[in-house]
Amino acid sequence: MVGAFDFVPAIVLLPFFSFLVALFLGKYMPKGGALAGITATAGSLLLSIWTVLTVAGFTGTATTYQQTLYTWAGGMEGTPLPYELTFGLLIDPLSSMMLLIVTLVAFLVHVFSLGYMNDEGETGLPRYYAGLGLFSASMLGFVVADNLLMAFMFFELVGLCSYLLIGFWFREEAPPSAAKKAFLVTRFGDYFFLIGVVAVFATFGTAAFAGDGSFPALAEAALAGEGGGDVNTLFGLDPQAWFTVVGLLVLGGVVGKSAQFPLHTWLPDAMEGPTPVSALIHAATMVAAGVYLVARMYGFYALTPTTLAIIAFVGGFTALFAATMGVVKREIKQVLAYSTISQYGYMMLALGSGGYIAATFHLMTHAFFKALLFLGAGSVIIAMHHNENMWDMGGLKDRMPTTYYTFLAGSLALAGIFPFSGFWSKDEVLYEALVHGLGGSPLLLAAWAMGLLAVFFTGFYTFRMVFLTFHGKPRTDTARNPHGVRWNVKGPLAVLAVLAVVAGFINMVPVAKLTGLEIEFLHDWLAHGPSGLTSEHYSELTHDYANYSVGTLVGGELGTALISGAVSLGLALAGAGLAYSLYNVPEPVEHTDRLGSAKDVLFNNYYQDEYQVWLANDVARGISRGADKFDQGVVDGVVNGISSVSLLSGSRVRRIQTGVVSNYAALLTLGLVALLVILGLQGGWFV
């Protein structure tokens, strides 16, 4: 029987075909190939919905799907290769949910681009839509990947697409530079990831995510003392230590793509790309890829407490660190960029503290509200004739109400205000970190504290952005008379605004605990799936191997959940309230001077860029120039030296060629005499 799973490859291939169509035929098509992209992503979206319904069991029993489609290498009969490298599909609750998110956001971004790019008279549209198509296809390929190698390959292709799209306006100076930086910084992370992939193959002989022979399952068996013979650890390390090393190596790629400290520096620069691309990158594709990867192989990470602790710490720190930088930014997209980094920090925090569901939940809600915010910002930017400085805006509320209300919905979700979606997911993230911290992992409490503090900053910068953009009096002529936007901008905003409001209702943990209703749909959703890939299995693993257990404050789990929710809501409101008092005035002024010397540090992003640019530019180039001098001088010098020795001796010896025939004759005679003498001496003539 033909089911949804038979069409899963089409979810990936449709956007790929739209890439080909837009690239080669785009200039002959109306709208520069946009329609191809919209059709393709709409098709992918419909197929994804069908897939999700199939996984959920609406078409019979709930099923998952794992299928190897293509053997990339090592498939020949009698091959000496120790393992095959394959491409395959893994459709389970996690990946099908992600498919839905990606296709939905990609579809909306395509539609929005009609307003942002076509209506604004951009050139190079076929290239733009080709890039979007390839971007979507790569991300979808990554999502459905059933093994780590395939995931890596599409991960890299995502990086390529981000390069092409961030550098879309290549005739200017800044975008190509930002594109280069994005690729290079993430490439640095991918270097570790690639070693990790290779190490996984060397250790397990497979990189499959799911099944009995998958590497998380083999690792688990090795740690449990069963079947450890199949696992080949390197450098004489014991399995636990070696798995930690491998996990950290793969984590390098995650830190790069998900813009975690210290490889987050590319992301704010990536704002040079067109705004719909920013929405796609930040909400659903590239940056999400890192976190998704950790979730995808969570069965492996859950085995190594050190890795989990590092993930949690990096996440918590990044959440706070990025949030503080978002506080002082002047451009609307910069604020959103830092909020993205911060929000992905929360997801990492959740993953590190054993909150697999919380991380997935936040990944989903964030995708909706961040896409909404970026598209809203795009709408504002259209209105402001591509001026992104918030200090030139103000009072846009009355002139563009649709944008305002949708943007507000997204902001409330981002700040984590009850009952918007961000509240539920962020609350669950913090709850997981708290209870596992209380349950005997005090390190998690520190990460939790950072995450909690970041809530305040999030509330502050979010509403600072809202007030500066939409409230008060218009501060420039463009803000007084903004450019209008059409349905193709408003439509995606409306869809996303609805999702940003309601998406949290699928997993209202505190409400469920309070009322005892069975409304934790996401928990149920992620609890089924292939064996070894379920949330229950993951919590067993974190419990057994990382000693994560639930500890509570007063009132048991319910009380802890309520207290945690109340505290984070309170902090968010406090942040928002501070923003309200400072910036919701008719003529707001910058208050950054009150920060004192911290202001410079924040404006300069803690000098993270400086030292990385210094490393890449001055140190690396300095070394390379030194190497070049060494090469030209010493290595090539030796070669040229050898040749000049022979040239020099040649030039000396040739002086016996006087050109006078008599001299040659004399030399000949001398030679003859010498020969005779030698011959005579040898023959004993003179004795």
Partner 1 sequence: MVPPQYYLLLAAAIFCIGLFGILTRRNALLFLMSVELMLNAANINLVAFSVYWGNVTGQTLSLFTMALAAAEVAIGIGIILTLYRNFGDVDVTDAASMRW
Partner 2 sequence: MIIEALIAFTFAAALVTFVLPDRLAGRGAFALSLVPVLGSLYMWSQFDASGNALLGGQTAFETVIPWLEVAGYEISWYVGVDGISLPLVVLTTVLTSLAIVSAWTPIQHRQSQFFGLMLFMEANLLGVFTALDFFLWFIFWEAVLVPMYFLIGVWGGPRRKYAAIKFFVYTNAASLIMFIGFMALVLGLGDSTSSFALPDVAQALRGGDLGSFYGLDANTLRVVAFAAMFFGFAVKVPVVPVHTWLPDAHVEAPTPVSVMLAGVLLKMGTYALLRFNFTMLPEVAVEYAPFIAAIAVLSVIYGAMLALAQQDLKRIVAYSSVSSMGYVILGLVAYTAYGVGGATFQMVAHGLISGLMFMAVGVIYNTTHTRMVGDMSGMADRMPVTTGILIAGAFGYMGLPLMAGFAAEFFIFTGAFQSSVIAGNGLALFTAAAMFGIVIVAGYLLFAMQRTLFGPFRLDTDYEVGPAPLHDTLPLAVLLVCIIALGVAPEIFFSMITDAVDPVIGGVLQ
Residues that bind partner 2 (CB under 8 A): 71-76, 78-82, 85, 149, 152-154, 156-157, 160, 167, 170-173, 175-177, 179-180, 183-184, 187-188, 190-191, 194-195, 197-199, 201-202, 232, 234-236, 616, 620-621, 623-625, 627-628, 631, 635-636, 639, 643
Residue (226 or 628) nearer to partner 2, CB: 628
Stretch touching partner 1 by CB under 8 A, among 69-77, 325-333, 555-563, 652-660: 652-660
Instruction: Choose the contact partner of 123 out of partner 1, partner 2, none; CB within 5 to 8 A by kind.
Output: none
With a CB cutoff of 8 Å and minimum separation 6, the contacts of 50 are 4, 7
CB 645, min distance to partner 1, A: 18
Residue (84 or 388) nearer to partner 2, CB: 84
What is the CB neighbour count within 10 angstroms for residue 468?
Answer: 25
Stretch touching partner 1 by CB under 8 A, among 200-208, 532-540, 625-633, 650-658: 650-658
With a CB cutoff of 8 Å and minimum separation 6, the contacts of 105 are 279, 280, 283, 284, 285, 367, 368, 371
How far does Cα 599 stand from its chain's mean position?
A: 28
CB 672, min distance to partner 1, A: 9
Told to check if 687 binds partner 1 by CB under 8 A, we report no
Instruction: Choose the contact partner of 660 out of partner 1, partner 2, none; CB within 5 to 8 A by kind.
Output: partner 1
Residue with tokens 């030209």: 632
- Among 627, 666, 676, 678, contact with partner 1 (rule: CB under 8 A): 666
Number of H helices and E strands in the chain, helices first, is 30, 2
At residue 147, what are phi and psi to the nearest 5 degrees? -150, 165
Residue (71 or 663) nearer to partner 2, CB: 71
Instruction: Choose the contact partner of 627 out of partner 2, partner 1, none; CB within 5 to 8 A by kind.
Output: partner 2
Give the DSSP per-residue string, 335-381: HHHHHHHHHHHHHHHHHHTT-HHHHHHHHHHHHHHHHHHHHHHHHHH
Residue with tokens 């490889």: 263
Told to check if 679 binds partner 1 by CB under 8 A, we report no
- Among 659, 683, 684, 687, contact with partner 1 (rule: CB under 8 A): 659
Which pair of structure tokens corresponds to residue 214?
């998958």
CB 667, min distance to partner 1, A: 10
Longest dimension (CA), the chain: 128
Amino acid at 80: P
Instruction: Choose the contact partner of 149 out of partner 2, partner 1, none; CB within 5 to 8 A by kind.
Output: partner 2
- Among 611, 619, 657, 681, contact with partner 1 (rule: CB under 8 A): 657
In angstroms, rounded to a whole number, what is the distance separating the alpha carbons of residues 418 and 187? 39
Told to check if 669 binds partner 1 by CB under 8 A, we report yes
Told to check if 661 binds partner 1 by CB under 8 A, we report yes
Strand partners, 67: 89
Total residues at interface with partner 1 (CB under 8 A): 11
In angstroms, rounded to a whole number, what is the distance separating the alpha carbons of residues 542 and 303? 7
In angstroms, rounded to a whole number, what is the distance separating the alpha carbons of residues 129 and 19? 7
CB 681, min distance to partner 1, A: 20
CB 658, min distance to partner 1, A: 6
- Report the chain's C-alpha Rg in angstroms: 31
Residue (623 or 668) nearer to partner 1, CB: 668
Residue (72 or 664) nearer to partner 1, CB: 664
Told to check if 660 binds partner 1 by CB under 8 A, we report yes
Q: Which three-class secondary structure state does DSSP give residue 594?
A: helix
**b/e code 118-147 from CB counts within 10 Å (16+ = b):** bbeeeebbbbbbbbbbbbbbbbbbbbbbbb
CB 643, min distance to partner 1, A: 19
CB 630, min distance to partner 2, A: 9
Per DSSP (E only), the strands in 42-158 are 65-73, 85-91
CB 682, min distance to partner 1, A: 21
Residue with tokens 């813009």: 259
Contact 331, 273 (CB under 8 A): no
Told to check if 646 binds partner 1 by CB under 8 A, we report no
Contact 254, 291 (CB under 8 A): yes
With a CB cutoff of 8 Å and minimum separation 6, the contacts of 254 are 189, 193, 260, 290, 291, 293, 294, 348
Contact 161, 140 (CB under 8 A): no
Residue with tokens 């001398």: 670
CA distances from 394 to 36, 376, 462, 588, 597 (A): 37, 15, 15, 9, 28
Instruction: Choose the contact partner of 510 out of partner 2, partner 1, none; CB within 5 to 8 A by kind.
Output: none
Instruction: Choose the contact partner of 184 out of partner 1, partner 2, none; CB within 5 to 8 A by kind.
Output: partner 2
Instruction: Choose the contact partner of 654 out of partner 1, partner 2, none; CB within 5 to 8 A by kind.
Output: partner 1
Instruction: Choose the contact partner of 652 out of partner 1, partner 2, none; CB within 5 to 8 A by kind.
Output: none
Contact 407, 371 (CB under 8 A): no
Residue 173, judged by CB atoms within 10 A of its CB (0-12, 13-18, 19+), counts as exposed
CB 664, min distance to partner 1, A: 10
In angstroms, rounded to a whole number, what is the distance separating the alpha carbons of residues 157 and 138? 6
Contact 244, 147 (CB under 8 A): no
What is the CB neighbour count within 10 angstroms for residue 366?
Answer: 32
Element (H, E) at 66: strand 65-73
Instruction: Choose the contact partner of 171 out of partner 1, partner 2, none; CB within 5 to 8 A by kind.
Output: partner 2
CB 124, min distance to partner 2, A: 9
Told to check if 658 binds partner 1 by CB under 8 A, we report yes
Closest CA to 190 of 169, 211, 217, 163: 163
CB 619, min distance to partner 1, A: 52
Instruction: Choose the contact partner of 73 out of partner 1, partner 2, none; CB within 5 to 8 A by kind.
Output: partner 2
Peptide bond into 492 cis (omega under 30): no
In angstroms, rounded to a whole number, what is the distance separating the alpha carbons of residues 441 and 432? 12
CB 616, min distance to partner 2, A: 7
Told to check if 597 binds partner 1 by CB under 8 A, we report no
Instruction: Choose the contact partner of 669 out of partner 1, partner 2, none; CB within 5 to 8 A by kind.
Output: partner 1
CB 674, min distance to partner 1, A: 15
Residue (203 or 406) nearer to partner 2, CB: 203
- Among 61, 581, 646, 662, contact with partner 1 (rule: CB under 8 A): 662
Stretch touching partner 1 by CB under 8 A, among 181-189, 494-502, 532-540, 653-661: 653-661
Stretch touching partner 1 by CB under 8 A, among 70-78, 99-107, 590-598, 657-665: 657-665
CB 57, min distance to partner 2, A: 35
Told to check if 655 binds partner 1 by CB under 8 A, we report yes
Residue (659 or 684) nearer to partner 1, CB: 659
CB 636, min distance to partner 1, A: 29
Residue (171 or 654) nearer to partner 1, CB: 654
Told to check if 683 binds partner 1 by CB under 8 A, we report no
Told to check if 665 binds partner 1 by CB under 8 A, we report yes
Contact 359, 439 (CB under 8 A): no
Q: Which residue ranges make up the site for partner 1 (CB under 8 A)?
A: 654-655, 657-662, 665-666, 669
